[in-house]
């Protein structure tokens, strides 16, 4: 696991593209097996990438967006290699691959944002290079996916620089789920803010909710912080309130899967509970949020689709099943934190205090 | 597991005493292995029982109290069988056993309450039967332990009858941890209220927090409800807020390990978070609480000792360890819910709405 060691998360290479003449390959860290096993899985088709997103080999809204973009590029390359397809068949097959990727998970808007960018590039290419064939289109789509990939790291560094100003030296920061390098193309959103604050010389300690049922906090956030010697204390999700009541938490920073036009924040299940408790204890609640995660087409959190996942995630963990046999299960994977509980959004264009629709729309002008 | 099946929890025999001439044995369901394995462990000494309490073979404040009382009786019988002891040695050995039991867990006050009752019986016996010898004392202590055991079930049934009036037909009731037959001598405190409401013909459905790290909700509450065909839906601890926001929870009922004189409630870690959320959503928050759990000697929740348990409980579950190696851990086993978040205490002497010190003291008059 030496190639994952790094000073600022930049070497946690969540997604890795391999160029090869006429085709290519996407490698993704298998996040279902971390931290016990650090290994990459290899993908050469949109169907494969969609499956990797669905089964959470890759997770985290920005990372899902980058993976989906590469998924489109992989499919364009693959279809190009199938010389028997005519133009209409090629277009239909690529459309179908985009739909497959779009349907792989419902909540993170970065997925549809990235696919939309890929479709725009496709349309622009058709206009600027009429009749140029599928080979040049595939290369154009790959270039676009690489841009989305590279931009994500830069965006996270800019968010980190803005967000770091919000954290005092010595701050004890609670985070939920994993909004780190593993959830992005690198550096991270919420953990990116922490990394940037540490890089600026501040002594930050992290309190991580374990984040049942998938345990992103215990497995992924803890792993990232241990790698970089940033002090981390792991708790179960039901301990955050007690620690706040004891005065042991100074700030909360989380990532997000979609922010509605009114500032409501969809994020990993349990985020809402943390936000309610932070408000009660007058602890600032920050959301690290690239513009690609803001969905102005959705008026409020009520309209954000909330994914429900399999019961077996709740009745145990992986092959270890502990619940009584015969129980019903609910497994909503996300919840919505109303905008009035959000102290500030941290974006690559700056900090938005007390977010509302007017301020969010202004970000895009 | 057929002898655990029952109509109202009365046949979940958490603790079982076996009489034998001159000695005896306490059997306790091994709650660390439920629901996968239903089995009893056998105890014949105070040290054994103290170990069973510490390792959570038996847990739940009322059940711990009953177990500790039998622990004293077992030790009195065992010491009596050691004919070599003189009176002073016998007394010192019994004192030491009581201290061992008292130190087995710190938060549940039922433990010291039950031990105090045993010590009072011991003192009364010494006064009424001077020089009668250790055999009659041991029998007197066993009789007292059996009384505590039998009274607990009756108290739970009375609490159940009072509490059932608070639940409407069709109510969807959230509970945290296990305050059921397994946490008591039978029927349960919080689940006792649900059992009594069901027995009164109300259609109640239960939503159970899994209750990390020991998973009492997923393993024990779910098991009890499945046995009796009371509909139960299992969730992870971080989902309760989302379900409340969706309007899917009508009431919360929990047990408690100690209630301070001002009405502050110590209970399983996470209870405080549920109470804060219930208040935000105007959902009644009820605490089922026998008088033995009220500690008037402690002015407020601040003075209640909060047990911290082993890190390995948080970094995984049993032999399955999933957290990144090298993390720090916090593992407070309880938290304190301030009295102003408690809609009502349900006691065997009736319902105490908006509990405060005056109302709690009045219960004992």
ipTM, 2 dp: 0.94
**Chain centroid to CA B208:** 17
For residue B43, report the phi and psi dihedrals to the nearest 5 degrees. -130, 135
Q: How far is Cα A131 from Cα A195, in angstroms, rounded to an integer?
A: 47
User: Residue A276: which of B210, B276, B317 has the nearest Cβ?
Assistant: B276
Q: How far is Cα A257 from Cα A152, in angstroms, rounded to an integer?
A: 15
**Residue A316, beta-bridge partner list:** A321
Residue pair B283/B316 in contact (Cβ under 8 Å)? The answer is no
Residues of A annotated catalytic, as ranges: 257
Compute the nearest-CA separation of B182 from chain A (Å): 14
For residue A223, report the phi and psi dihedrals to the nearest 5 degrees. -60, -45
- Span between the terminal Cα atoms of chain A, in Å: 43
Pairwise CB contact (< 8 Å): A322 & B222: no
pLDDT greater at residue A323 or residue B130: A323
User: Residue B235: which of A36, A236, A314 has the nearest Cβ?
Assistant: A314
Which residue intervals of chain B are DSSP H helices? 46-54, 61-81, 87-102, 109-128, 134-164, 190-199, 216, 222-227, 240-245, 271-280, 312-315, 357-363
Residue B8 pLDDT class (50, 70, 90 cuts)? low
Pairwise CB contact (< 8 Å): B314 & A234: yes
Instruction: State the CB neighbour count (10 A cutoff) for residue B146.
Output: 16
Which among A118, A112, A255, A103 is positioned nearest to A194, based on CA atoms? Answer: A255
Pick the CATH number of B157-363 from 3.90.1640.30, 3.40.720.10, 1.10.3720.10, 3.40.50.10470: 3.40.50.10470
Residues A17-73 pLDDT 10s: 999 887 899 999 999 999 999 999 999 999 999 999 999 999 999 999 999 999 999
Pairwise CB contact (< 8 Å): B241 & A328: no
Domain boundaries, chain B: 15-156, 157-363
Pairwise CB contact (< 8 Å): B272 & A222: no
DSSP assignment letter at A341? G
Compute the nearest-CA separation of A123 from chain B (Å): 40
Which among A100, A38, A91 is positioned nearest to A67, based on CA atoms? Answer: A100
Q: What is the pLDDT of residue A11?
A: 66
Residues of B in contact with A238 (CB under 8 A): 176, 209, 211-212, 237-238, 269-270, 273
CATH architecture of A15-156: Up-down Bundle (1.20)
Q: How far is Cα A233 from Cα A221, in angstroms, rounded to an integer?
A: 10
Q: How far is Cα A286 from Cα A303, in angstroms, rounded to an integer?
A: 22
Q: Is the pLDDT of residue A2 over 90?
A: no
Residue A4 pLDDT class (50, 70, 90 cuts)? very low
Residues of B annotated catalytic, as ranges: 257
Compute the nearest-CA separation of A268 from chain B (Å): 9
Q: How far is Cα B116 from Cα B111, in angstroms, rounded to an integer?
A: 9
Residues of A in contact with B219 (CB under 8 A): 322-324
Q: What is the pLDDT of residue A7?
A: 44
Residues of B in contact with A257 (CB under 8 A): none
The two three-digit tokens of residue B249, written as one number: 């929870």
> What percent of chain B is predicted at pLDDT more than 70?
97
Residue A84 pLDDT class (50, 70, 90 cuts)? confident
- Span between the terminal Cα atoms of chain B, in Å: 43
Q: What residue in B sits closest to A271 (Cα-Cα)?
A: B238
Q: What is the pLDDT of residue B6?
A: 40
Residue pair B200/B194 in contact (Cβ under 8 Å)? The answer is no
For residue B358, report the phi and psi dihedrals to the nearest 5 degrees. -60, -45
Pairwise CB contact (< 8 Å): B324 & A35: yes
Polymer length in residues for chain A = 365
Average pLDDT, chain A: 95
Those residues whose C-beta lies under 8 Å from the C-beta of residue A224, and which sit 6 or more positions away, are A9, A12, A178, A180, A181, A182, A188, A191
Residues of A in contact with B223 (CB under 8 A): 324
pTM: 0.95
Q: How far is Cα B257 from Cα B293, in angstroms, rounded to an integer?
A: 6
Q: Is the pLDDT of residue B66 over 90?
A: yes
Those residues whose C-beta lies under 8 Å from the C-beta of residue A115, and which sit 6 or more positions away, are A68, A69, A72, A98, A101, A102
Q: Is the pLDDT of residue A233 over 80?
A: yes
Residues A261-316 pLDDT 10s: 999 999 999 999 999 999 999 999 999 999 999 999 999 999 999 999 999 999 99
Q: How far is Cα B245 from Cα A276, in angstroms, rounded to an integer?
A: 11
């Amino acid at each position: 696991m030496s190639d994952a060691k790094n000073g600022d998360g930049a070497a946690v290479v969540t997604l890795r593209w391999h160029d090869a003449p006429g085709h290519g390959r996407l490698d993704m860290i298998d996040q279902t097996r971390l931290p016990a096993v650090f290994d990459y899985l290899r993908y050469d088709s949109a169907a494969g990438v969609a499956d990797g997103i669905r089964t959470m080999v890759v997770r985290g809204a920005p990372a899902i967006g980058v993976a989906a973009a590469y998924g489109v590029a992989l499919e364009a390359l693959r279809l190009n290699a199938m010389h028997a397809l005519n133009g209409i068949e090629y277009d239909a097959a690529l459309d179908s691959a985009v739909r497959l990727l779009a349907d792989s998970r419902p909540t993170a808007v970065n997925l549809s944002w990235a696919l939309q960018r890929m479709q725009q590039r496709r349309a622009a290419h058709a206009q600027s290079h009429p009749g140029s064939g599928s080979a040049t289109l595939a290369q154009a789509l790959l270039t676009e996916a690489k841009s989305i990939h590279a931009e994500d790291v830069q965006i996270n560094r800019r968010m980190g620089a803005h967000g770091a100003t919000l954290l005092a030296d010595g701050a004890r920061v609670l985070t939920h789920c994993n909004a780190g390098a593993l959830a992005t193309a690198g550096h991270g959103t919420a953990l990116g803010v922490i990394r940037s604050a540490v890089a600026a010389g501040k002594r930050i300690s992290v309190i991580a909710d374990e984040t049942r049922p998938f345990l992103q906090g215990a497995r992924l956030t803890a792993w990232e912080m241990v790698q970089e010697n940033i002090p981390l204390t792991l708790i179960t999700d039901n301990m955050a309130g007690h620690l706040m009541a004891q005065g042991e938490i100074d700030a909360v920073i989380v990532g997000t899967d979609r922010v509605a036009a009114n500032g409501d924040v969809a994020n990993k299940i349990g985020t809402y509970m943390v936000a309610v408790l932070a408000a009660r204890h007058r602890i600032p609640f920050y959301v690290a949020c690239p513009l690609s995660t803001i969905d102005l087409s959705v008026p409020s959190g009520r309209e954000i689709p909330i994914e429900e996942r399999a019961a077996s995630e709740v009745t145990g963990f992986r092959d270890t099943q502990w619940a009584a046999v015969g129980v019903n299960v609910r497994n909503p994977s996300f919840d919505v934190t109303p905008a009035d509980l959000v102290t500030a959004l941290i974006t690559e264009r700056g900090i938005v205090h007390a977010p509302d629709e007017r301020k969010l729309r202004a970000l895009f002008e």
